[in-house]
Structures are given as structure tokens and as C-alpha cells.
Amino acid sequence: MKKLIISVGALGVMSFTTNQLMNTYHLASAIDTVQDMKEYMKEDITQGVIEEVYGEYYIEMLQETEKDLIEYMEENRLIGDF
């Protein structure tokens, strides 16, 4: 009976840790994607692909999204160095 309880407990801890790692990975990936999109938008403005007014608006929205994602990670202690 003890072995069963220990096994179930260990499985629960591993499952929680794996889920938290996956959440951290997905959020970090989302932040990275937003940062890439900001760089692409800056390049599009420079190249004249998009008007500066619209590009700056998109960059502003991406900055807000990035800030919100980072705050969420910090609040949920999913963040190390970002």
C-alpha cells in the first residue's frame, strides 16, 4: 500500500512539473514571437512596405502584448530572466 501511495504521489509531482515546464515554454515562445514581429514591423516601415503611422501602431500593440505576457509569467512565477 505504501508503494502505491508513493508511486501515485511521485507521478503527480512529475505531472505538475511537466505541465508547468510546458506552460513556461509556450509563454516564452509567444514572447519570442512577439519580439520577432516587432522587428519585422520595424523593417517593413524602413522598407516602405507599410506606412509609418500604421507600423508604429502595430508595434505599440505588440509591446503591450509582450508586457502582458511577461507580467503574467512573473505573477505566476514562471519566469527566470526575461
On whether the CB atoms of residues 24 and 73 are closer than 8 A, the answer is yes
What confidence tens digit (pLDDT) does each residue in 19-57 have?
677 788 889 999 999 999 999 999 999 999 999 999 999
What is the value of pTM for the model shown?
0.70
| Domain residue limits, the chain | 2-75
Q: How far is CA 37 from CA 3, 33, 46, in A?
A: 51, 6, 14
Please report the pLDDT score of residue 82 as a whole number.
Answer: 44
